[in-house]
A and B are shown apart, each in its own frame.
Chain A
Amino acid sequence: KNQVEQSPQSLIILEGKNCTLQCNYTVSPFSNLRWYKQDTGRGPVSLTIMTFSENTKSNGRYTATLDADTKQSSLHITASQLSDSASYICVVASGTYKYIFGTGTRLKVLA
């Protein structure tokens, strides 16, 4: 069964600190893996997209990693800001137009 699991379910950190979110997947076939940021009451916005051959991809303070062998991905947020408070969703694409969503990690950044 295709599954995408994220951890932790929720996370609270202080402004300026770093954090890492985890995504483990069992999806076949694998096309690519995306991380999205979803603000409360808004649609998801893409942060990074990685294919099978990519190990790391950065987007500003966001750095995603992918280990295709262990089927794990992480999203590292550096020097967190209050505006980083959101849900972060890991999505694995399998074939054409088939997407498996993780349950998300809710991040709260406190001043």
Chain B
Amino acid sequence: GAVVSQHPSWVICKSGTSVKIECRSLDFQATTMFWYRQFPKQSLMLMATSNEGSKATYEQGVEKDKFLINHASLTLSTLTVTSAHPEDSSFYICSATGLDLYNEQFFGPGTRLTVL
């Protein structure tokens, strides 16, 4: 089956620093990737959708200058949380889909971000 990985699995950083999270499709070409955040006991909230080689489409209320998304290749997308603050602490999950995958998205294992 299609496999998506994320790195790191967890990260702790100081307030004001930037953190980069990687999302990789290991065995398929991900033409579209999605970034979600999830707070405790809540469902996933879509942050943005990115297509390879083009700018990401952000959901309403998500600051694009704070959450920088790059999808430069068919196997890699990155989410950079700039000038992180404690309220950015959350569980970030990416998913990916591609051609011939019938619109199904495959999720990564998630990255736990804690901002001190």
Residues of A whose CB lies within 8 Å of any CB of B are: 31-32, 34, 36, 41-46, 49, 89, 93, 96-97, 99, 101-104, 106
Distance (Å) between the CB of A61 and the closest chain B CB?
19
Whether A106 and B107, one on each chain, are in contact in the complex, defined by CB atoms closer than 8 angstroms, is no
Q: For the complex, count residues of B whose C-beta is within 8 A of A.
A: 23
A44 contact set on B, CB distance < 8 A = 44, 93, 107
Whether A104 and B91, one on each chain, are in contact in the complex, defined by CB atoms closer than 8 angstroms, is no
Pick from B6, B32, B110: contact of A97, CB under 8 Å: B32
B54 at the interface (CB under 8 A from A): no
Contact of A101 with B108 at beta-carbon distance under 8 Å, contacts A31-B103, A43-B93, A93-B103 already known: no
The 6 closest A-B pairs by CB, nearest first: A43-B107, A44-B107, A43-B110, A43-B109, A103-B43, A101-B43
Pick from B34, B42, B112: contact of A103, CB under 8 Å: B42
Whether A102 and B41, one on each chain, are in contact in the complex, defined by CB atoms closer than 8 angstroms, is no
* B67-106 CB contacts (< 8 Å) to partner A: 91, 93, 95, 97, 103-106
B97 contact set on A, CB distance < 8 A = 97
